[in-house]
Amino acid sequence: MTTAFKNHGHDHGHCIEQALDWAAAKSTRRGVRLTPIRRRVFELVWQSHRPVGAYDILEILKGEKRNAQPPTVYRALDFLIELGLIHRIESLNAYIGCSDPQLAHPSQFLICRDCGIAAEISDKRIDGAIAALAEETGFVTGKRTLEVEGQCPNCRGGANHAR
């Protein structure tokens, strides 16, 4: 078993710091600006390993008196997706921070129905199977993200049961 699902008691501050480093590096490399609002939206997407909805982000920003409107949030989210820093989880209509934004990659998400945590997997075997299937059927693939619902190891109980 891999460590795709972090223990509930892990140091999440470290995850956020690392993500902010990635965001800064990627913006610099692409020559785009990580404005304060983009940075704050990115931080809010990274507040946990649970996908977060645009309106949840908007509510928090309003609480911070940032005078944010829905288009502001959607534009920031689009920017972050475009840079490969976050992904959209279609089945939940929500967003999650990319666990490894250095390189473009196919994603599969394992989403826990109990705690809501989504783990990002980038398994080349799965993507290879999709590519082979596409070739067999003459289908040209677009977005190849897979979303799988179920129960994570933390919620199944066992050694690292702590919440």
Does residue 119 interact with Zn ion by CB under 5 A?
no
Q: State how far the Cα of 112 lies from the Cα of 5, in Å rounded to an integer.
A: 10
Considering beta carbons, is residue 12 or 144 the nearer one to Zn ion? 12
Does residue 149 interact with Zn ion by CB under 5 A?
no
What's the burial of 150, exposed, middle or buried (CB within 10 Å: 0-12/13-18/19+)? exposed
Considering beta carbons, is residue 64 or 114 the nearer one to Zn ion? 114
Supply the minimum distance, in Å, between the C-beta of residue 34 and Zn ion: 18
Tokens, residue 113? 């129905």
Supply the minimum distance, in Å, between the C-beta of residue 140 and Zn ion: 22
Q: State how far the Cα of 54 lies from the Cα of 19, in Å rounded to an integer.
A: 19
Long-range contacts of 60-64 (CB under 8 A, 24+ apart): 64/40
**152 to 33, 73, 91: CA distances (angstroms):** 36, 30, 17
- Given candidates 57, 61, 119, 155, which one binds Zn ion under the rule CB under 5 A? 155
Instruction: Give the count of residues interacting with Zn ion (CB under 5 A).
Output: 9
Does residue 81 interact with Zn ion by CB under 5 A?
no
Does residue 114 interact with Zn ion by CB under 5 A?
yes
- Given candidates 4, 7, 12, 127, which one binds Zn ion under the rule CB under 5 A? 12
Does residue 89 interact with Zn ion by CB under 5 A?
no
Stretch of 28-36, 53-61, 112-120, 138-146 contacting Zn ion, by CB under 5 A: 112-120
Task: Report the relative pairing of strands 146-150 and 118-121 from DSSP bridges.
Answer: unpaired
The CA dihedral of 69, 34, 116, 53, to the nearest 10 degrees, is 20
Using CB under 5 A, list all residues that contact Zn ion.
Answer: 12, 15, 98, 107, 112, 114-115, 152, 155
